[in-house]
Amino acid sequence: MLTHSILRWIILLLYIGLLFYLSLIPGSSFDKFSYFSGIINFDKVVHAMMHFGLWSLIVWALKGPGKLVRNRWAIFTFSLFAVFTIGVIIELLQGYVGRSDLDWADVSANVLGALVAWGCWLALENKLFIYKW
């Protein structure tokens, strides 16, 4: 039987796998979404949203019973570092699959998404009792 903790880690790992898959498929696969190309920096918005979710899932997976309450800032900071690291690894790997090499604007969008997630968590933590889920 899966515990809540194991299920959270499985969901996080599946999300990371999906993130790597979507980030490493050829850019031509996104041609069918060309109607979004008119939106300036739409890809940066997508980066921020995907890494908003990544940061949130890392915090969720690490929370454990009472752990997040006692170690909130350490977990939040570690999660931000993890988002940065995963983002840089993905950017470096993209050079090997024919996509652009390390793009610091993409890494910045990733970190911005994580920072927005952190801010949302802080803004909502007392209103939604998010430590309980």
pLDDT at residue 39 above 70?
A: no
Structural domain harbouring 104 = 4-13+46-132
pLDDT reported for residue 3:
76
Q: Is residue 75 part of a domain?
A: yes
Answer for the pair 130, 61: CB distance below 8 angstroms, yes or no.
no
pLDDT band with cut points at 50, 70 and 90 for residue 98: confident
Q: Is residue 59 part of a domain?
A: yes
Q: Is residue 36 part of a domain?
A: no
Average the pLDDT over each of 35-39, 41-45, 119-123 and give the range with the smallest value: 35-39
| C-alpha dist (Å) from residue 11 to 18, 50, 61, 94 | 10, 14, 8, 24
Q: pLDDT tens digits, residue range 100-114?
A: 777 888 899 999 999
Q: Is residue 56 part of a domain?
A: yes
Answer for the pair 118, 76: CB distance below 8 angstroms, yes or no.
yes
Answer for the pair 62, 125: CB distance below 8 angstroms, yes or no.
no
Q: Is residue 24 part of a domain?
A: no
Greater model confidence, 31 or 55: 55
pLDDT band with cut points at 50, 70 and 90 for residue 54: very high
Domain count within the chain: 1
Residue 5, token pair as written in the block: 């903790």
pLDDT at residue 29 above 80?
A: no
Average pLDDT, the chain: 82
pTM equals 0.83
pLDDT at residue 115 above 90?
A: yes
Q: Is residue 88 part of a domain?
A: yes
Q: pLDDT tens digits, residue range 65-79?
A: 666 667 888 889 999
Q: Is residue 109 part of a domain?
A: yes
Q: Is residue 87 part of a domain?
A: yes
